[in-house]
Amino acid sequence: MDGWLDFFTFRDANVRYVTLGAMLLGGSVAVVGVFGYLRKRSLAGDAVAHAMLPGICLGFLLAGQKSLPWLVGGAFASGWLALLTIDWLPRQARLKEDTAIGLVMSVFFGAGILLLTAIQHGGNAAQVGLEDFLFGRAAALVGSDLGLLSGLAVTLLLVVVVFYKELALLSFDAAYARAVGFPVRGLEFLLTTLTVLAVVAGIQAVGVVLTAALLVTPAAAARFWTHRLPLMLALAAGLGAFSGLAGAWVSYVAPAMPTGPWIVLAASALALGSFLLAPGQGLLARWWRQRAHRRKFAEENLLKLLYKMGERRQDHDRAYQPADLPTGQAPAQLAATLRRLRAEGYLTRRGPGWQLTPEGYERGRRITRLHRLWELYLTEYLRLAPDHVHDDAETMEHIITPEIEQELEKRLRRPEFDPHQNRIPYD
């Protein structure tokens, strides 16, 4: 409890700098990352992050010491050049974008490693700790660093707010934006600059290797929760800021733990939780919907079977035992389907057999009608052979809405028979 109080009261100035810096970093970088994610250019952020290493080394060589403005300026110039090269290569050298990204990342990062090695063997004592920019060292943030980081974060957020409409249109439909007169090349240049600034903001806390994760992970996690861009931006910023808070807290309670990697791990845990638990697109929600659909299909197929069996015998009041029902289901699955239909009021027990209720008869008749209407539609409008339409109708019969049903009846002029000369039952 004392550890919790010491951390969350922020009495320690170092705790304040690290925590606020990590939260500002996580929130602002995540907002910019949303637009890269929507444009399917998330990997470009990784290339930019790796490409900043030679700029950092050149900034150190020019300044002769670890001056943060020089290091950040070099990182920005190097990252910006790398992203422009990624845009230029596919247009001029006939390379695919992923090839250009891989090429730029490997060349720039390799050059950065060579420069870093040369600096480490150059005898300049000021180079100690320069390798921290590879993986970050948030614990080294001081007040002046926090001021620079705050300025970058506020700049990123303000630009996104001012150019929100233009950036949103560019992310979803660049061709339409060009058609209505938006300066697409200028907006792409602006987004390029924002991406580089976002990565620059994270190099000291998270490092060039892991900063790209803050661009991609909160945006991907937020996408599982919403389809609306404003809410996605807010969620990504919140998830990024929380990741920064969690990383700072872990490194505080366990001083041997580095802050930057824990920020990324916290963001990854949030993304994994979103992937599993998000109500709309999460894995569990999709599994539940698929399970419900399978149950619905099994129930409607059984009702259709009972209706057709009664239709052949001209006796819809007859009861059938499970052994008489050729459903293809395992006995346990068939028993479960029968119980569900009974609970829903579509079947009733009569001795050892099962009988359609009036509600079950109506639902079975409708499924049969939809099946036969769709078969006839495929043969008349798509010119498919009658023996090639059954399987498709087996699926479509479960998803045709009343509006589509009315349209089918209208287009087919309320037909009496399907392609196999089976009567189409109407109400």
Distance CA 315, CA 291 (A): 33
Q: Residue 223 has what pLDDT?
A: 93
Q: Residue 96 has what pLDDT?
A: 87
The count of C-alpha atoms lying within 13 angstroms of the C-alpha of 294, restricted to the half-sphere facing its C-beta, is 10
Distance CA 171, CA 139 (A): 36
Where along the chain do its domains lie?
2-216, 287-427
DSSP 74-134: HHHHHHHHHHHHHHHHHHHS---HHHHHHHHHHHHHHHHHHHHHHHHTTT-GGGTTTTHHH
Q: Residue 129 has what pLDDT?
A: 64
According to CATH, the superfamily of the domain at 2-216 is: ABC transporter involved in vitamin B12 uptake, BtuC (1.10.3470.10)
Q: Domain 287-427 is of which CATH architecture?
A: Orthogonal Bundle (1.10)
Residues 6+ apart with CB under 8 A from 32: 156, 160, 194, 195, 197, 198, 215
Q: From the CB of residue 393, how many other CB atoms can be counted at a distance below 10 Å?
A: 19
Task: Average pLDDT across each block of 10 residues of the chain; the chain has 427 residues. List them in order.
Answer: 63 76 87 91 82 88 82 87 88 84 90 88 71 65 69 88 93 90 90 85 72 87 93 95 88 77 90 93 93 95 96 92 91 95 95 94 96 96 93 94 95 94 92
150: tokens are 């705050």
Q: Residue 94 has what pLDDT?
A: 78
- By 3-state DSSP, what share of the chain in percent is helix, strand and coil, each rounded to 5? 75, 5, 25
Distance CA 129, CA 407 (A): 72
Residues 6+ apart with CB under 8 A from 351: 319
Distance CA 310, CA 322 (A): 15
Q: Residue 41 has what pLDDT?
A: 82
Contact 244, 23 (CB under 8 A): yes
Q: Residue 198 has what pLDDT?
A: 84
Q: Residue 144 has what pLDDT?
A: 65
Contact 262, 251 (CB under 8 A): yes
Cα dihedral sign, 354-355-359-362: positive
Q: Which amino acid is at 222?
A: A
Interior angle at CA 241, CA 235 and CA 246, nearest 5:
120
Q: Tokens 């189409």 correspond to what residue?
A: 424
From the centroid of its chain, how far is CA 179? 28
Distance CA 16, CA 13 (A): 5
Q: Residue 2 has what pLDDT?
A: 53
Q: Tokens 């129930």 correspond to what residue?
A: 299
- Alpha-helical regions (H) of 254-348: 259-277, 283-313, 331-343
User: Which SS3 state, helix, strand or coil, does residue 180 take?
Assistant: coil
From the centroid of its chain, how far is CA 78? 29
| Of residues 347, 280, 272, the one with CA closest to residue 316 | 347
Distance CA 14, CA 21 (A): 10
Rg, the chain, Cα only: 31
| Of residues 202, 206, 259, 271, the one with CA closest to residue 235 | 271
Residues 6+ apart with CB under 8 A from 106: none
Question: Helices 259-277 and 229-253, interaxial angle, to 10°?
Answer: 130
